[in-house]
Structure 1
Amino acid sequence: MFADRVAAGKALAEAVAQLRLTDPLVVALPRGGVPVGHEVAQRLGAPLDVLIVRKLGAPGHAELAMGAIVGGAAPQTVFNPEVMESLRPSPEHVEAEIRREQAELARREAVYAADHPPLDVHGRTVVVVDDGLATGATAEAALRGLRQAGAAKLVLAVPVGAAEAVNRLEAVADTVVCLSVPFRFEAVGQWYSDFRQVSDEEVIALLRSRKNGGKASR
């Protein structure tokens, strides 16, 4: 159990620091992954960027990801085969979800890029950070998108994750750092005492603080 995302980020940062990465770039998944990624970037002395990934909700189970879409230079759509096989969503539902989440993805990219232009990942070691892995669909979309954009090495770093998601993503990332893989995993939020929603304003403030080399006010 982590007190909050900042505490989780500090613990995760120490584990990532043990990898002794050369000139890494930290890419956090908004919004919940940004406070975690901020701590990792600060510990590594690395730039912090964001990659917008939107979950595609399953029919009748909005919190269950049937897949995800990722923005950036190489947009990707990744589906969760187990969920797709189990629930068999209609093509109309899938298309509607993609359209809806593409609109939100575009909105967030415009909001964040206005103050923080995207960093070039080509040839870089990229540490992808989120606050946890449930199905792993959003992280997988991010990893595949960054690989397509030319990242040289991908490290996935999360405080907590479901065993199935961690095992699957070990085949997608070059290295996976996960502090806790609980036996019974239902949702990421159950492993945080404080799991309040992160706002766009908080994301922008954290990005700005790393850009200026300082700490964001909380």
Structure 2
Amino acid sequence: MKFFNIRTLSRSLIILVSSSILFVGCMGYNKTKKDSSPKKKMMKMKPPMGSAQDVSESNALWKSLTAARLVGKRARKSRPYKGQHPHGAVLETLHRKITVNGHKGIAIVKRNYGGPGVSNSRVRRNRAKYLKAITVMFKRELGYDSANKDWFYAKYKANGDLHVKKMKNGMQVKLAGRVAKGMPSGCISCHKAAGGGDYVFSTKIRLK
């Protein structure tokens, strides 16, 4: 009787140990299978604007604009004119071909003026007082953004720092690169409506 009990107990232990090993093995298999299975597409795509590369390129662009006297303290002046949203109440536009990082393209610089009492005459007398932003379009190399005519956009402060936009998800994004690409409003969607299909509203600016 005692032999039977010991024998039965031994069998029970063997079954229990075997079951435990099998259970642990299955758990490990399931975990491995779960970890190796294709995950949902959560990989971060390269943002269309505000990336480290965009910021670096905007800095290089600013240096070239300064050298060409399109921005900065020695910037050339043009005739202020009435503007409209989303730009300033008064605007001033300059353009010319410049070279940035070895690529030559046309740069269109728009100075945006605003504030209490702003007017064309007051801007002429004191540009620094009313200057709110400097928005720039720079024609990049073919293939930069083929779907949108290869324009690089940037929105600067008077000192060359980039303006920052707070997105709906709370992220702070610097405005440089393919600004607002794929969005219903913003630089690209607005300029896409320009006549001639070149994303430039002014008929006085020749791209070639």
TM over 0.5: no
TMscore range, shorter length: under 0.3
TM-score (norm. length: structure 2): 0.24
Higher helix share: 1
Q: Say which structure, 1 or 2, has more relative contact order (CA 8 Å, 6+ apart).
A: 1
TM-score scaled by length of structure 1: 0.23
